């Protein structure tokens, strides 16, 4: 269905050059110079929304257009000459570019503050799905006691989905920025500490826990102390979110995720809360 929408947008000569690039909310195709993100008819409006949010993030030059074809919404962007984040592609230049990228985003104000009620509601939801895991419940209780650490933070513009598939690293010798975040449909107002936590759990963890912590803290050192302190809350919370997702969406992979993610969550909470709530 998504490819048929592109048949109404591209010439017959162009279609054989398209390569499927995956996608969850939408199907993504690319040729040598462009990427076409095709949203289902019931979500066609998200193409224009994502274009606006890319512009908000300073990436308007990547947006080539938005179209509606056979009811589908299509976001057309320039193709970035890079690959998804991987340990092999990680260099000091990558780290510096990540710090610059996230700092630039998090300087953009958004209305409102993070509310205590929404954090507690999230923890309650995790309690229900993880009720059979005593260590997870203990961690949830610990986070509830520390919810004041995160509640009341000013919202800033955040990507909110910085897993490795959405974080592209420029190929050697190519022109342009060192890194690029894609898939901006979930972006919006949130706590910068949560955005950094998502970066760690979704991308930096591929480096191994010690290297991931070091990279996270090197980025976080450019932030105010109160943002760094909130990592002690948000990194464990993000791991719990991952476990909740596996438990409810992909239960067949839950036990493997539990073995990997719960120890990291517990250790981070213990290590960073007990060192004076500062990273």
Any idea which architecture 2-79 has in CATH?
A: 2-Layer Sandwich (3.30)
27-32 long-range Cβ contacts below 8 angstroms, 24+ apart: 27/2, 27/3, 29/2, 29/3, 30/79, 31/79, 32/79
Rg (CA), the chain: 20
pLDDT tens readout for residues 135-148 = 999 999 999 999 99
Q: Model-level pTM?
A: 0.95
pLDDT tens readout for residues 197-220 = 999 999 999 999 999 999 999 999
98 closest CA partner among 231, 15, 221: 221
Identify the H or E element spanning 74: strand 72-78
pLDDT tens readout for residues 95-140 = 999 999 999 999 999 999 999 999 999 999 999 999 999 999 999 9
> Cα separation of 131 and 136, whole Å?
8
Domain boundaries, the chain: 2-79, 83-273
Q: Decide: 64 and 76 in contact? Cβ < 8 Å.
A: yes
**Percent helix, strand, coil in the chain (nearest 5)?**
55, 20, 25
> For 83-273, which CATH superfamily applies?
Aminoglycoside phosphotransferase (APH), C-terminal lobe (3.90.1200.10)
Residues with Cβ within 8 Å of 185's Cβ and at least 6 positions away in sequence, in order, are: 25, 46, 49, 50, 53
Provide the pLDDT for residue 1.
64
Q: Decide: 48 and 66 in contact? Cβ < 8 Å.
A: yes
């Amino acid at each position: 269905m998504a490819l048929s929408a592109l048949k109404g947008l591209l010439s017959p000569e162009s279609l054989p050059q398209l390569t499927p690039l995956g996608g969850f909310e939408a199907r993504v195709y690319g040729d040598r110079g462009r990427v076409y993100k095709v949203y289902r008819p019931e979500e066609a409006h998200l193409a224009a929304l994502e274009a606006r949010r890319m512009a908000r993030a300073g990436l308007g030059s990547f947006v080539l257009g938005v179209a509606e074809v056979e009811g589908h919404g299509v976001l057309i962007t320039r193709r970035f000459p890079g690959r998804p984040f991987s340990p092999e592609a990680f260099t000091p230049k990558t780290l510096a570019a990540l710090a610059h990228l996230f700092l630039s985003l998090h300087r953009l104000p958004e209305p409102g503050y993070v509310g205590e009620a929404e954090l507690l509601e999230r923890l309650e939801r995790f309690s229900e799905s993880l009720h059979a895991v005593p260590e997870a419940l203990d961690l949830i209780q610990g986070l509830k006691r520390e919810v004041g650490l995160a509640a009341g933070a000013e919202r800033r513009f955040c990507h909110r989905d910085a897993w490795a598939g959405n974080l592209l690293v420029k190929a050697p010798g190519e022109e342009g920025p060192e890194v690029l975040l894609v898939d901006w449909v979930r972006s919006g107002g949130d706590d910068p500490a949560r955005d950094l936590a998502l970066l760690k759990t979704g991308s930096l963890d591929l480096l191994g826990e010690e290297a991931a912590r070091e990279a996270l803290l090197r980025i976080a050192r450019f932030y105010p102390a109160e943002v760094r302190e909130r990592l002690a809350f948000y990194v464990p919370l993000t791991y719990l979110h991952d476990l909740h997702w596996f438990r409810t969406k992909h239960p067949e992979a839950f036990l493997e995720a539990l073995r990997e993610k719960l120890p990291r969550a517990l250790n981070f909470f213990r290590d960073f809360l007990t060192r004076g709530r500062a990273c």
